[in-house]
Structure 1
Amino acid sequence: MASWLLGVGILAVYILGIVSAIMALMSSRTSQGAVAWIISLLTFPYVAVPAYWIFGRPRFYGYVTARGQRDTILRRVLDGYRHNMSPFTPSSHNADIQAVEHLAMMPLTRGNRAELLIDGTATFDSLFRGIEAARDYILLQFFIVRHDSLGMKLQGYLQQAARRGVRVYFLYDEIGSRKLNEGFLADLSDAGVEVSAFRSSRGFKHRFQLNFRNHRKIAVIDGKHGWLGGFNVGVEYLGQDPRHGPWRDTHMKLSGPSVMGLQEAFWEDWHWATHEVLSLAWQPEVTYEENHSVVIVPSGPADRQETASLLVQHAIHSARKRLWVTSPYFVPDQGVQDALRLAAMRGVDVRVMMPERPDHLLIFLSAFSFLPDMVRAGVKIYRYLPGFLHQKVILIDDQAAMVGTVNLDNRSFRLNFEITACIPDAKFAGQVCLMLEEDFARCRQVSLGELKARPMWKQLLSRAAYLLAPIQ
């Protein structure tokens, strides 16, 4: 009897392996990932089957976006507020912007003020001033929140806001903020702050969605001002962690109709986490201090399209003179790699800035498997020397820039919820250009000789790490 049960169990595991392999064949995010999963599932089903159901799921199921649904409570609210946006949306613009709008499922808006915030002090000073000025509500979302001096300072500002009658909603990723203790959250709740984890694996039906993350960093004050960019909440982001040294990052503050896009992304995330539909102000307020045009592009594994990857590829194909990219984690998919090489071949000044010091070894090693081909094609690779580089910025010619949370790797392209601000404005692009020129002056350029001189064992290790890129 026992041997019969054992045989049935072994057969069931292999059947599950075959079924999972078929699913991987039909739905894996990349051909590289499909081949890796199929071989593993058919050869080592005892290990590969549970791994596939945790790490190999192609999409995030159950998440409702107002932009993508036809008849939901969220959609009905969205339709009403989008009508309010029409006075601030240009009646016509070029095809490049139309493509971004299609990806974002959000309109380009004018009458905005976009302010670069360079490094931690400028970012958190600006954010804390905004929290102090809040009168109606605060929406705050981070991937990582730490219970350190910066986290406690943020907690204090939020508690004060809640006690003076401001509605405060605080959303965090339960994996990114896994070290955040219950006492920190309880103190916020006791002060009247509404607190929730994103809960990617919420409920029995979605219990295997463990490999997805909400990597967005969003703050919205009263629907009038918003913040997004690379910063999380921890003293290392202020350069106070000796392991990382000086921390180089970029955030930005938006004022005007584009803030509605940030608010909408938070609103959808909060709905997923809590089932609540927040009552917020949906009347855009215009500012003509700078009159920047802005498109907010939310992206994530619930999208029908691979929004983040397509957005980056579109930016690369749009470049005519220069394409400067900064990313702490640079393991782009094949489409982005090909686009970068082709841009360099047609004479575009393509530069990629990466950190000299890694904080994720596998991702750092993966890049060495394809960097030689990049350099041969004319892509210039730079390593940032003073400390850890964490900013996610793209400059396209002298006409447009992108600032957000998207890294150039598979996780940001397909596994994370992310958010990007696209600003097709020459003046703002000029500010980004000056900022990046200072950063490049603190870098060293990587030569082809340096890459080819790496010992064989390092080359093999890099190639093996690259094979794991689809699940990193």
Structure 2
Amino acid sequence: MIRCWPVLILFATFLGCAYPNHPHDLRLRSVPDGPEGLSQAFFQSTGVALEPGHRVERVNNGRIFDAIEEEVRAARSSIHILSYIWRPGEPSDRLIRALSERQPGVECRVLVDAMGSINFEAVAPRLAAVGCETRVFRSVQGAIASLQLTRMLSRMHRKLVVRDGEVGITGGWGIWKSWEGDARNADEWRDSNVRVWGPAVRQLQQAFAENWQEAGGSFLPEACFPALSPAGEARAGFVASTGELYLSDGKRMTMVAIAAARHRLWIANAYFIPPQDISDLLILKAKEGVDVRVLVPGRHHDVKVVHEGQRGSYARLLAAGVRIWEYELSMMHSKTIVVDDRLSVIGSTNMDPLSLDVVEEGSLVVEDLALAGELAQDFEHDLGHAREIHASGWLRRGLLQRLAEQFPRLIGRYL
């Protein structure tokens, strides 16, 4: 872990780096009404429409390992796993056991990020021994040797499982001990994930294939992209985002979702340092009377300097009527948005410059009354373990706290 601290510090200071408004910043106020209008808004912004025919299931906290294992054991032709974090430990051992017992003839491909998957060199031989082709995305050594900050930080942060090209899983999970349990204490992270059946699985598979190729893998067999029949009533689309300053698809997706809000906008986000155009849109929605709530990590934040940068965004939002809570039970790692009664976003996309502009991300956008209701219930339950930040008290915080909030941004100006 120690050898990664320089990289983590670099990561953290970049997260806190503010940048001025740019002529290409996206300025949205609203989107057309109705399912087709909403679908067109996402399609015209990201190229991904909300197609009918999906079944979705939320998968919270340590249940993610149950879901992945279920898909591994159900696979008939292929199982693909892509994760920013895969580290030695019981979750890794559990999945390797399942992979070793998969049905005969099932092709296994595993892709991890070099920076997030610390000590993966201890895992890779075991995956190879059970017949999994394993690759690592963008070596850290090569990035450091380039002396280019953007290249060092251009990581693969997506989390995907695709089984037989028919079922997909995405969210904020990693394959490590922090995702075990049920967020009952500081050692068990709070996270949100989703399993999906239907046409959007093809988009998850394409995102895997894209990163797999860059890591040196071959094109996937045509059988990995089967024709998919409708599986349910939900409308959905998977938005894969690749680093592109100012206007990545991840940023466009986030802003369309926010702009769509008419009466409710509930955001849970692990690394919340919104660029000014997103802050402006959140403020606009609050002034329009939308119930804008933001849930972020509190005292158990895994990167303290990022926590201070996050707090630097509070004052302006609070003054405009945005309500903010800090989760106090454990590290809150979810990346979800609930809009009104039917629209949800769930995946790996954080609301900070690194996630929106630099790294590989992916989120499932779903229009479904049931899923939105379940995520709203989760949000309200999480507020029971959170502390609300009130505008009056926040304005009276001390000088040292104010300076700490600005420290990441001051460093960022010199990177």
What residue number does 2:122 align with? 183
Query: How far apart, CA to CA, are the structure 1 residues paired with 2:412 and 2:258?
Result: 22
For the 8 Å contact 1:410–1:469, the answer to whether it is kept is no
Distance 1:273 1:283, change over 3 A: same
What residue number does 2:407 align with? 464
Query: How far apart, CA to CA, are the structure 2 residues paired with 1:210 and 1:168?
Result: 28
Within-5 A mapping of 1:203-242: 207=146, 208=148, 209-239=151-181
What residue number does 1:442 align with? 385
Q: Secondary structure at the match of 2:219?
A: coil
- Check if 1:451 corresponds to 2:390: no
* CA deviations over 1:400-454 (Å, ceiling 9, x no partner): 0010001111111112100000002223212222221212222221112332232
Query: How far apart, CA to CA, are the structure 2 residues paired with 1:348 and 1:329?
Result: 23
How far the C-alpha of 1:322 sits from its partner, in A, is 0.6
How far the C-alpha of 1:186 sits from its partner, in A, is 1.2
- The code of the aligned residue for 1:438 comes to H
Structure having the larger proportion of residues in helix:
1
What residue number does 1:135 align with? 76
Distance 1:304 1:259, change over 3 A: farther
How far the C-alpha of 1:159 sits from its partner, in A, is 2.6
What residue number does 1:194 align with? 133
**Matched positions, count:** 383
Distance 1:249 1:240, change over 3 A: closer
Query: How far apart, CA to CA, are the structure 2 residues paired with 1:203 and 1:250?
Result: 33
Match among 273, 276, 282 for residue 340 of structure 1: 282
- The code of the aligned residue for 1:224 comes to E
What residue number does 2:96 align with? 155
- The code of the aligned residue for 2:315 comes to P
What residue number does 2:371 align with? 428
TM-score between both structures, scaled by the size of structure 1: 0.75
How far the C-alpha of 1:469 sits from its partner, in A, is 5.7
* CA deviations over 1:8-58 (Å, ceiling 9, x no partner): xxxxxxxxxxxxxxxxxxxxx974499xxxxxxxxxxxxxxxxxxxxxxxx
Match among 357, 367, 374 for residue 317 of structure 2: 374
For the 8 Å contact 2:81–2:162, the answer to whether it is kept is yes
* CA deviations over 1:112-148 (Å, ceiling 9, x no partner): 111111221x221121011001110011000001101
Query: How far apart, CA to CA, are the structure 1 residues paired with 2:413 and 2:367?
Result: 31
For the 8 Å contact 1:32–1:467, the answer to whether it is kept is no
What residue number does 1:386 align with? 329
For the 8 Å contact 2:258–2:281, the answer to whether it is kept is yes
* CA deviations over 1:253-299 (Å, ceiling 9, x no partner): 011111101000001110111152111432232244x3211011001
For the 8 Å contact 1:292–1:423, the answer to whether it is kept is yes
Q: Which structure is higher in RCO with an 8 Å CA cutoff and minimum separation 6?
A: 2
* CA deviations over 1:237-268 (Å, ceiling 9, x no partner): 11499993332111110111111010000011
Query: How far apart, CA to CA, are the structure 1 residues paired with 2:152 and 2:219?
Result: 25
- The code of the aligned residue for 1:430 comes to G
What residue number does 1:406 align with? 349
TM-score between both structures, scaled by the size of structure 2: 0.85
Query: How far apart, CA to CA, are the structure 2 residues paired with 1:283 and 1:274?
Result: 23
Gaps of 5+ in 1: 1-28, 35-91
RMSD, aligned CA = 2.7
Query: How far apart, CA to CA, are the structure 2 residues paired with 1:386 and 1:124?
Result: 21
Structure number with larger C-alpha Rg: 1
- The code of the aligned residue for 1:311 comes to M
* CA deviations over 1:41-87 (Å, ceiling 9, x no partner): xxxxxxxxxxxxxxxxxxxxxxxxxxxxxxxxxxxxxxxxxxxxxxx
- The code of the aligned residue for 1:191 comes to V
Query: How far apart, CA to CA, are the structure 2 residues paired with 1:275 and 1:223?
Result: 17
- The code of the aligned residue for 1:179 comes to N
Distance 1:246 1:202, change over 3 A: closer
Distance 1:444 1:395, change over 3 A: same
* CA deviations over 1:359-397 (Å, ceiling 9, x no partner): 111211012223111111000001112222111110001
Q: Secondary structure at the match of 2:409?
A: helix
Within-5 A mapping of 1:212-291: 212-239=154-181, 244-281=186-223, 282-288=225-231, 290-291=232-233
Query: How far apart, CA to CA, are the structure 1 residues paired with 2:312 and 2:246?
Result: 30
Identity %: 28
